[in-house]
Amino acid sequence: MSLAEGERLGIREFDIILVTGDAYVDHPSFGTALIGRMLWDAGFSVGIIAQPDGKSDTAFTVLKKPRLFFGISSGNVDSMVNNLTPNLKRRSEDVYSPGGVLKRPDRATIVYTNRVHELFPETPVVIGGIEASLRRFAHYDYWQDRVRQSILADAPADILVFGMGERQVVEIARRLDTGVPARAIRDIPGTAFAISIAEWRDQPPEESVEIPGFTEVSQDKQAYARAFALHYREQDPVRGHRVAQVHPKTVIIQNPPAMPLSTAELDHVYDLPFSRLAHPSYTQPIPALEPVQFSVTSHRGCFGGCSFCALTHHQGRQIQSRSSESIVREVTRMTKMLEWKGIVQDVGGPTANMYSLSCPRWATTGACPDKQCSPACKTLKTSHRALVLLLQKIREIPGVKRVFTGSGIRYDLVLADDSGYLGILCEHHVSGHLKVAPEHIVKEVTDAMNKPDGAVFDQFREQFEAVQQGRSQSGKQKRQYLLPYFMSGHPGCTVADMVDLACYIQKHHHYTEQVQDFTPTPMSVSTCMYYTGINPFTMESIHVPKGHEKKIQRALLHYKDPRNREFVIEGLKSAGREALIGNGNLCLITGNSQFGDQPKKHERPPRR
């Protein structure tokens, strides 16, 4: 992070300088550390500029000019998601910053890239990370409530890396090191680039799928939905094609996604010598490090396909699992650290219980284009035996006291399992609560979310209770509870649906403060539905709660909160469920003003 550090290692000029919106933490869950370690392992020297002041020249010149390129990322999160709440209020802290102090600018990737290009106009710039990855095409921006251009049309970068990026970045470095111009690097899977309108007209890339352009999708919501469905279908690394989208001054070309890393390649990544510590120059802790410092990534990818999640566009549907030997080595290294207290905080990935699950078709034909992977598919291997064995091996490592599963699990996969995973999970890897995310229980809403319906969750809940009963009979008195996550305001959800969900929560005693109001983030199916009011795969209209209705839906999840009383009453009346207002056992809210004679009034935005 300084020239002095470089000089102590004999480095007078860094090959690559990575610029990030996060504090620098040398941990494999922090993207900058992961990319930096991979480049270092490939033989390149790497400098880190962490959280630079976007208005300062010296913040970007502190390490001078890199020999090969600048790599720029907003950090582990999209800067707009990080800086603003779903209600568009400025957040009070940034957990990826020392002491939680806010330092990351809005649209950090664009800000950083513009500054670097101004100061070093001849040096190639490569952008990546979650912000660049999910804004690579024209996209709806919730914070401005409009369609924005591809980030490549706004940021003067030579190459955009999407997905996890290790293989792409190392290949870019190698080519630049041999003298290949950055603008000539156009064939690496998992990258995107911009070409001129004239070049597009003269010689468009072969075998590319052209989707509706920026002008069309920013003016026509049906065109936006069509464009989304077209590029969504090309996000498989085996069967995907190049995708092209015309913008007013440029054309964005996305290559097919990179092939997933093999088990050996993934093992190599996590065998690199991460210190799992923040850089020693920091005098305040990095809040985001504490809950993950002793967690382990067992796999990548998720075939769940939840509509509100953009993971399909970033890690893909194919599960990429590490070997148990690699994971055991990583945990063993953790036990040697001074900070180690005997607890593995998590072993998992996007979905904890997808470790080692696979389909024989993935390697040859890719994930099926016409259906989602699910336990109903006979070719999908759903046994959790490898995961059960892995967790047992970790428990047996000297110095390990407890091994927790902190990531959420997919409960429909548990129902299809033949290994007794749920009982073992509750026996050894759950403290007081098991996290699951049914999100909703009304079928029309779960269909829009691409989640299992409420009947599947009920079946899992009954199985979980049977495990608890067995634990009690065996003398294990500590009761465990399900911690279900629910969502309000999702496309396809009405106020009546939210009343049904609130009644379900009350009936089964699932009330919790941990609820989520749907936030439209770039490149998810749900965001496309939110903006267009159209299901992009069927082109059928879908109900979209916005404005005042969205506030009512969120209030119904927090029906016990006295601050939500007016909204809850209004929602119950609009759904024709006034019977739920009163003093009966099944009522959601009392009919009197027990919360005060003058309930707090809320300012309401104009109705749309």
Work out the average pLDDT over 524-538: 97
- Lowest-pLDDT choice from 108-112, 408-412, 533-537: 408-412
Mean pLDDT of the chain: 93
477 band by pLDDT with thresholds 50, 70 and 90: low
Predicted pLDDT of residue 191: 98
Is a pLDDT exceeding 70 seen at residue 51? yes
* 205 closest CA partner among 227, 186, 190: 186
End-of-domain residue from the set 131, 159, 193: 193
d(CA 99, CA 91): 14
Number of helices followed by number of strands (H, E) in the chain: 23, 22
The helix/strand/coil state of 323 is coil
Percent of the chain whose pLDDT exceeds 90: 87
Higher pLDDT, 378 or 270: 270
Does the pLDDT of residue 301 top 50, yes or no? yes
Q: What CATH number does residue 61 fall under?
A: 3.40.50.280
Q: What is the pLDDT of residue 512?
A: 82
Averaged pLDDT for residues 12-34:
97
The answer to whether residue 595 scores a pLDDT higher than 50 is no
For range 298-325, the mean pLDDT = 93
Domain boundary residue, one of 193, 221, 249: 193
Nearest to 189, CA basis, from 133, 261, 235, 258: 258
Residue 201 neighbours by CB under 8 Å, 6+ apart: none
Indicate the pTM of the whole model: 0.93
Domain limit, last residue, from 169, 193, 217: 193
**Model pLDDT, residue 314:** 86
For the chain, how many structural domains are there in total? 2
The reported pLDDT for the residue numbered 602 is 38
Domain span including residue 487: 471-608
Mean pLDDT over 421-434 rounds to 93
Q: Which of 79, 144, 230, 151 is nearest to 531 (CA)?
A: 144
The pair of three-digit structure tokens given for residue 278, joined into one six-digit string: 């923040």
Domain membership flag for residue 341: no
Residue 395 included in any domain: no
Distance CA 62, CA 49 (A): 8
Residue 139, in any domain of the structure: yes
Which SS3 state, helix, strand or coil, does residue 245 take? strand
What's the average model confidence in pLDDT over 537-562? 95
Smallest CA-to-CA distance from 33 within 41, 42, 25 is with: 25
In which residue are the tokens 């020693």 written? 280
Determine whether 506 is exposed, middle or buried from the number of CB atoms within 10 Å of its CB (0-12, 13-18, 19+): middle
Residue 170 lies in a domain: yes
pLDDT over 90 at 206, yes or no? no
- pLDDT band for 592, please (50, 70, 90 cuts): low
Report whether pLDDT(383) > 70. yes
SS3 386: helix
Let me know if residue 155 belongs to a domain.
yes
160-177 pLDDT, tens digit each: 999 999 999 999 999 999
- Among 339-353, 409-423, 473-487, the minimum mean pLDDT is found in 473-487
Sheet holding 433-439, edge to edge: 433-439, 481-488, 516-517
Of 265, 35, 60, 26, nearest in space to 130 by CA: 35
Q: Rounded to a whole number, what is the distance in angstroms from the first to the last CA of the chain?
A: 50
Quick: pLDDT tens for 219-267: 999 999 999 999 999 999 999 999 999 999 999 999 999 999 999 999 9
Q: How confident is the model at residue 205 (pLDDT cuts 50, 70, 90)?
A: confident
Residue 344 lies in a domain: no
Q: How many CB atoms lie within 10 A of CB 175?
A: 17
Structural domain contains residue 124: yes
Average pLDDT over residues 592-605: 40
- Residue 18 belongs to some domain of the structure: yes
DSSP secondary structure of 356-374:
T-B-TTHHHH-S-SSS---
